[in-house]
Amino acid sequence: MVFRLWLLLVLVLQLEQVSCENYTYSFTAKEIKAYKQEVRELFYFGFDSYLEHGYPFDEVKPISCVPKKRNFKDPNDRVTNDLLGNFTITLIDSLTTIAVLQDRPRFLEAVKLVERTFPDEDFDVDATVQVFETTIRVIGSLLSSHQYATDLTKAVYLGNEYDGSLLRLARNMADRLLPAYLTYTGLPVPRLNVKQKFNFPDFTDSLLAENNVAAMACPVFEFTILSYLTGDSKYEKVTRYAFDKTWSLRTHLDLLPMSFHPEKLTPYTPMTGVGASIDSFFEYALKGAVLFDDSDLMDIWDVAYESLRTSCKNDWFFANIMADTGQLFVPWIDSLSAFFPGLQVLAGDLDDAIAKHLMFLKIWNTFGGIPERWNFSPPESLSSSPSEDLESFDLNAIIPLEWYPLRPEFFESTYYLYRATKDPFYLNIGVHLLRDLKQRFKSNCGFAGFQNIITGELQDRMETFVLSESLKYLYLLFDEDNELHKSASDVIFSTEAHPMWLSQEVRSNYKRKAKFSDLTYSSHLEACYERDKELEAKENTLRGRIVGFAKSIFTQDEPDETPTDAILNHKINDKVPSICPMKPSHVMDGDSWYSPILSKFRRLFEIDTRYAATLIKPAHMQNYSAIELEPAFYSRWSNPQFSTCQIMATTEIFELIFDLPGLHQLNPLISDNETITFETFGGRSRLNIERIQIYQIDHYGELITASTFRNISRRDIYSQQCDTTASLYSPTFLYRVVAINGHTLPRHGTVHIKEHNFVSASNNTRKKDVLIIGSVGINDRAQLMIECTPIINLILV
């Protein structure tokens, strides 16, 4: 007995003596602490390398170990100069990561270095830079670091050793950027020379003519915090006007084109989505609503998110579509959209966040990073490519932009999902991200991302977000005891991952004492509001809606769920893990020992087969195993009895789109009878319709049987056009709704539309308050029909 106890003790001690190189995946406190320490060491390796080889310039080149400077000779070099203002930006942007590490000595040292770098507390630098990027990297970090330094509840509180210099520096930069808003419309120009202040720079018009939605609207977050901390409301008022003005430019679908001319207000691109150029708009609508307790911002978020779900949302990602029509615009998603699952967690939409995050996990498994753009739809050339000749296939056809500079968005959403679920699935991802940083991206003097994700060529650049965001989120993933996770105040991360919070005292003082005494900006805003009133009086602001009906095949938005020949040519069977049997599952509740994702998410490997045609590994990734299938992790955390895969669907899914006058009210799913109800049926409604036949596998992974086809009525009660069909033919297929406006319907769910509110498409003939149009009819069971075929779970009540 004593021997057994001794042996057990030895085993426990061995388990706790974790080295990150062993990766036991037990995720004990000792092991997680080791991972956290590894991340801490990686951060200081990058930060100290910058101080040694890059300071006082903005960045360090991680491979060549020399400073990365702005192009002083060519002011039109946007690629270089937009982000590098000669502000020592890596030092400033990294301050909050040191604070998150709770390293007071190094935090004080870094703050003092900033003070020595800017002894006059003035960014008097002759540099034209992006207003938005400078706001989030410089002003945002200075504000957050000031909060850390002055909050006595924080581990890095500096007390008498700090006199507010960071806040004064932040205000100085804000005063230099705020003139960008002194335009006729009140919307900012994208770039400004921080030395010239009120004089717009003399360079090509193309640098000023286009500004994206994120850049026009989103400085409001940092500038509003600056107003709270200084008591000067001009920063909030000027930028909030621009945010609201930007939102007013949305289309009748409540979607924003990604960029505009800030003076003419004409869109530069009709595209919209959740990725580059527009991502932070959604982020700051929700985060601003939370941090500032702002109901108007919350209303904007609610409308914007519902519009995205209605028009952009597919099973595994949000597509880039036309903002005015909702049609697919480009068949790719970009790396910045990987942040959105984290925002969905903050919004409470956890189930969809889990699904959307999986898409980016599969992309990382394939390419070792998230390409700047990746095509989810296979190009025509792929269909004719020989099945065994992948080496000669040009991967540029599926990766339009091939770099990955270690962007933080996938790290960010992984962190948010772990905080919400505590599923070790996400810790496992973090371990692999840590391993990749150490083994593939760590270079001589920092971290080098991919210059070309296809060839594996590394980029001799380390942008500031690597230290400010990527490593910060990875550290917090493993730091369960971090003060941010225990804070009583509402801590919100900025889009650059700078923690922000507002104490009740700060809120109260601002509400009582805030002043707007700058005549230049108050007069400017008065003029903008006056012009808005005049414009509203002259124009009818109601946008016309086309009453109509459209039916579009779902493959326009994403590939058909049925594997095509092109997909089969790329060895689908090799991508389906053999350890996940293809059969229906019935998962027990309460098996908390296992990872819920591995044990209960039946669609875990659907992406691998569904997008096999464009998830093609480059040569340098051939030996890279899927993160979720790491043997030591999978064997420990999967439930061997219930970890099963859903059978792939063989049905066809298309979209039924109603774009009608008025607005719709869609009640949430009623759980007891699995029913979704349209109280009003107007505006834009997007229904995913499944075409089902006997012996097919449906959207839910179940076999369709003959019982589904019993007692089917095909006679239209308002028209005789279906009489012949109903009397002569039995249906060989039926329709069924599987999703509405991005909301998934349960397998046995039904959709109810209040009959007196129903509007459809036929000859403008009214019968019993129902407008019948085109090929849409209603049978004697109150089921909607398309071309005399019922949608069996879409019922008028």
186: CB partners within 8 A, 6+ apart: 238, 241, 242, 245, 524, 525, 528
Kindly list the distances between the CA atom of residue 321 and the CA atoms of 257, 267, 341, 449, 557, in Å, as whole numbers in the listed order.
Answer: 9, 14, 19, 29, 9
Kindly state the tokens that stand for 477.
């993933």
Kindly state the tokens that stand for 589.
């509740």
User: Which three-class secondary structure state does DSSP give residue 520?
Assistant: helix
User: Which three-class secondary structure state does DSSP give residue 770?
Assistant: strand
Kindly list the distances between the CA atom of residue 176 and the CA atoms of 58, 131, 180, 252, in Å, as whole numbers in the listed order.
Answer: 19, 10, 9, 36
Distance of CA 650 to the CA centre of its chain: 30
Residue whose token pair is 């990027």: 133
Strands annotated E in 179-240:
191-193, 211-212
Kindly state the tokens that stand for 166.
């960071």
User: Which three-class secondary structure state does DSSP give residue 195?
Assistant: coil
Cβ 43 vs Cβ 72: under 8 Å: no
**Gap between the Cα atoms of 271 and 104, Å rounded:** 46
Nearest 5°: CA angle at 591, between 589 and 594?
135
630: CB partners within 8 A, 6+ apart: 23, 25, 428, 432
Could you count the other beta carbons within 10 Å of the beta carbon of residue 586? Answer: 7
Cβ 598 vs Cβ 425: under 8 Å: yes
**Gap between the Cα atoms of 788 and 777, Å rounded:** 7
Strand-strand pairing, 750-753 and 789-796: parallel
The DSSP code sequence of 240-268 is HHHHHHHHTT--TTS---SEE-TTT--EE
Smallest CA-to-CA distance from 663 within 787, 545, 554, 527 is with 545
Cβ 282 vs Cβ 301: under 8 Å: yes
Catalytic center residues? 133, 279, 372, 409
The DSSP code sequence of 204-217 is -THHHH-EEHHHHH
Cβ 548 vs Cβ 657: under 8 Å: no
Cβ 267 vs Cβ 259: under 8 Å: yes
Whether the ω angle into residue 262 lies within 30 degrees of 0, i.e. cis, is no
484: CB partners within 8 A, 6+ apart: 100, 476, 491, 499
Cβ 310 vs Cβ 741: under 8 Å: yes
**Gap between the Cα atoms of 166 and 377, Å rounded:** 48
